[in-house]
Amino acid sequence: MSDQPRVSDDTKRALPILGQDGAGVPMDRRQALKVMAIAAAGPTLASCAPGEAPVDATIPAPTSNPKAAGTAWDPDLVAPSVPWERTLSADELASLADLCDVIIPADDRSPSASSVGAHDFIDEWVSAPYEGNERDLVVIRGGLLWLDRESTDRFGDGASLRFRDCSLEQKHAICDDICYEPNAPAGYEAGARFFDRVRYLTSTAFWTTTNGMQDLQYIGNVPLTRWDPPPPEVLRHIGVE
């Protein structure tokens, strides 16, 4: 694997039990585990309703799947891993991390994209052994060099200038020309496609982290004891009473 550490903002894999206001009544962690434990125990514990299960019947959720063959067709879904080597160099990753943060900077609600490993995810993506990913490897690698070339041409003042060494204003000046292909000046189409691809992957990477989901106030993926209609403020928002 790459010598870049896999950045993970939250390694907890078991049941994420969160309290919340509004819809539904969250189960507590112990209760949710009991439901899963009863299912695992099968008919021998069958007479126990969820609330009746003895506490010592609680078992943790599985942490791996020994039945999985470990192939691409039958990977261990319970304890996933990425089976391929990383491709990008440390220097490329540094440039990519910088661009990721131009796309998603830190603010008062959440950190920047690179601080939750967006560049590392893009390395994982472009290193994957699939046709589309191999195409993206060319797009990303070539695009990073294109950015440096563009930085030198515009702001290098005769010397070589890396994009990541530009000022934020200079970076924005370049990105403004490539942030949307229909608006890109002639000659900037390839740069625009590269930027769009990095934005796409950075967005996936960032918003799927715990930090990203918290920023969005996604509050699902928690077991509930019942399902309620949307709360009143939501009904008011959509004009349905």
Partner 1 sequence: MRRKAQQEYDVIVVGSGAAGGMCAYVLACSGVKVLMVEAGRDYDPVTETPMFQLPKDAPMRGAGTAEKPFGFYDATVDGGWRVPGEPYSSAEGTDFLWWRARMLGGRTNHWGRISLRMGPYDYAPRSRDGLGFDWPMSYEDVEPYYDKTEMLIGVYGSNEGLENTPDSAPGVLQPPPAPRAEEMLTQKVCAEQLDIPVVPAHLAIMTQRQDADRLSRALWPNNALAQRVTADSMRSRAACFYATPCGRGCSIKANFQSPTVLLPPALATGNLDIITDAMVREVTVDSSGRANGVHYVDKRTRIEEHASARVVVLAASALESARIMLNSKSGAFPDGLANGSGLVGKYIMDTVGAGVGGQIPALENMPPHNADGASAMHLYMPWWLYQEQARGQLDFARGYHIEFGGGRKMPGFGFMGGLAPFTDGAYGQRFKEECRRYYGSFLWFDGRGEMIPNEDCYCEIDPGSVDQWGIPTLRFHWKWSDHELNQARHMQKTFASIIESMGGQVTSTVHDDGARAIARPGQIIHEVGGVIMGDDPNRSVLNQFCQSWEVDNLFVTDGGCFVSNADKNPTLSIMAIAWRASDYIVEQLASRSIG
What part of residues 155-174 is at the interface with partner 1 (CB under 8 A)? 172
User: Closest distance between partner 1 and the C-beta of residue 45, in Å?
Assistant: 8
Tokens matching residue 39 = 């299912």
The interface region with partner 1, picked from 85-93, 145-153, 154-162, 208-216 by CB under 8 A, is 208-216
Tokens matching residue 114 = 């690179």
Does the footprint of partner 1 cover residue 4 (CB under 8 A)?
A: no
Nearer Cβ to partner 1 (160/176): 176
* Binding residue for partner 1, selected from 4, 57, 94, 128, defined by CB under 8 A: 128
Cβ atoms within 10 Å of 86's Cβ, excluding its own: 17
Going from the C-alpha of 138 to that of each of 20, 186, 202, the distances in angstroms are 44, 22, 17
The interface region with partner 1, picked from 44-52, 86-94, 138-146, 155-163 by CB under 8 A, is 44-52
User: Closest distance between partner 1 and the C-beta of residue 3, in Å?
Assistant: 19
Nearer Cβ to partner 1 (160/183): 183
User: Closest distance between partner 1 and the C-beta of residue 168, in Å?
Assistant: 9
The size of the interface with partner 1 (CB under 8 A), counted in residues, is: 97
Residue at 144: amino acid letter:
L
CA angle 149, 150, 152 (to 5 degrees): 65
Interface positions, 55-114, toward partner 1 (CB under 8 A): 61-62, 65, 67-69, 71-75, 77-78, 80-83, 102-105, 107, 109-110
* Binding residue for partner 1, selected from 111, 143, 191, 212, defined by CB under 8 A: 212
CA distance 229 to 231: 6
Spatial neighbors of 4 by CB under 8 A, at least 6 apart, are 86, 90, 93, 120, 123
| CA-based nearest residue to 57, from 41, 76, 75 | 41
Are 35 and 63 contacting, i.e. CB atoms less than 8 angstroms apart? no
CA distance 134 to 125: 9
Mask for 174-203, x = binds partner 1 (CB under 8 A)? -x---xxx-x--------x--xx--xx--x
Nearer Cβ to partner 1 (165/196): 196
Nearer Cβ to partner 1 (94/179): 179
User: Closest distance between partner 1 and the C-beta of residue 158, in Å?
Assistant: 29
Spatial neighbors of 84 by CB under 8 A, at least 6 apart, are 127, 128, 129
Q: What are phi and psi of 26, to 5 degrees?
A: -65, 140
